[in-house]
Amino acid sequence: MFAIILGTRPEIIKMSPIIRECESRSIPYFTIHTGQHYSYEMDRIFFSDLELPEPGYNLDAGSGLHGEQTAKILSGVEKILLDKKPDVVLVQGDTNTVMAGALAAAKLHIPVAHVEAGLRSFDRRMPEEINRIIADHISEFLFAPTETARKYLKREGIPDEKIHVTGNTVVDAVFQDLEIAQKKREISPGLEGLEKGNYIVVTAHRAENVDVKEHLQGILEGLEGVHNETGMQVVFPVHPRTEKMMREFGLTAEGVRFVKPVGYLEFLRLEAGARLVLTDSGGLQEEACILGVPCVTLRENTERPETIDAGSNVLAGTSTTTIIEKSRMMLTKKPDWKNPFGDGHAGKYMVDILVENGLS
């Protein structure tokens, strides 16, 4: 039996191909929703929209200090694993849910399968970097999305036989979920009248960007400059954290269409129709690459270097001048790069490997 642990919406998205694979093959599994970002009640519609079964367990860990949140998840997951005794525990990515779920399983001598193993930003100031390193070093199955990720894992001394290059489930999810999204036609307020291929989409939410006035100001002035130079609509679904800090700092940007956050499926449609994406999100760097949309990353580093190598993405940091310069460059880019994250069957390959090892 598989135990699938997730706690954030990106984890739900990237675990969804594995859940669908288990469903289609009648492989026994159960899902633990830790509620790291949202309670299950808030995520219920998300599972429904993605046409996924409801989780079997909900921990409602909630937000809080890293230690407090991690402890709640560790304790809650441990009790369930002791009761259910799964053959393998699957975690995805780099959140506190991943680290706590992997640790709970490892201490109970249950094999851990880390989906999206081997990503590195080489910046240990980021809590995500600590989480992904710990998860990788206590996992038995490391599902690396690319050869670059495999290289990083081998460099850290992880035995080659534990590493499996499968591609990334985000590719599976983008194509599966875009198909679901195209069936839905509702348009959120502020998104009316956008012409496919003639607008720019922005997201920014990382603390190092939005909690520092100079960084947030640099981003906003960069967006204003990009709008003035291109004349394109710049659409910015504003994360609550970003909105709060803009208000506190008294910042805004002319020519930018600030809108309320939209649901995942609508955002996927929005992203697929954009001419350019500017973001500080790791997941959106991947999605843009897969969808053939050029990306400018509002960070100084990335744990998705494959997007840089492919030519779909560049780093700009938070400098106004650099954001404008890199946006100008990427707007001339033809989307003729090769997607480095696999063929859209990563979920199947991962399940195959676990089944072949007698863990179903």
Residues annotated as part of the active site: 205
**Backbone torsions φ then ψ of 335, nearest 5 degrees:** -80, 60
Report the C-alpha gap between 120 and 122 in whole angstroms: 5
Helix (H) or strand (E) holding 92: strand 88-92
CA angle at 227 for the pair 225 and 228, rounded to the nearest 5°: 65
Report the C-alpha gap between 16 and 131 in whole angstroms: 21
Report the C-alpha gap between 310 and 113 in whole angstroms: 27
Report the C-alpha gap between 316 and 285 in whole angstroms: 13
- Sequence-separated (6 or more) residues with CB below 8 Å from residue 108: 78, 81, 82
Report the C-alpha gap between 131 and 9 in whole angstroms: 17
183 torsion bin: left (phi>0), alpha (psi -120 to 50), beta (else): alpha
Report the C-alpha gap between 312 and 289 in whole angstroms: 6
Beta strands in 153-244 (DSSP E): 163-165, 199-203, 233-237
Beta bridge partners of 29: 2
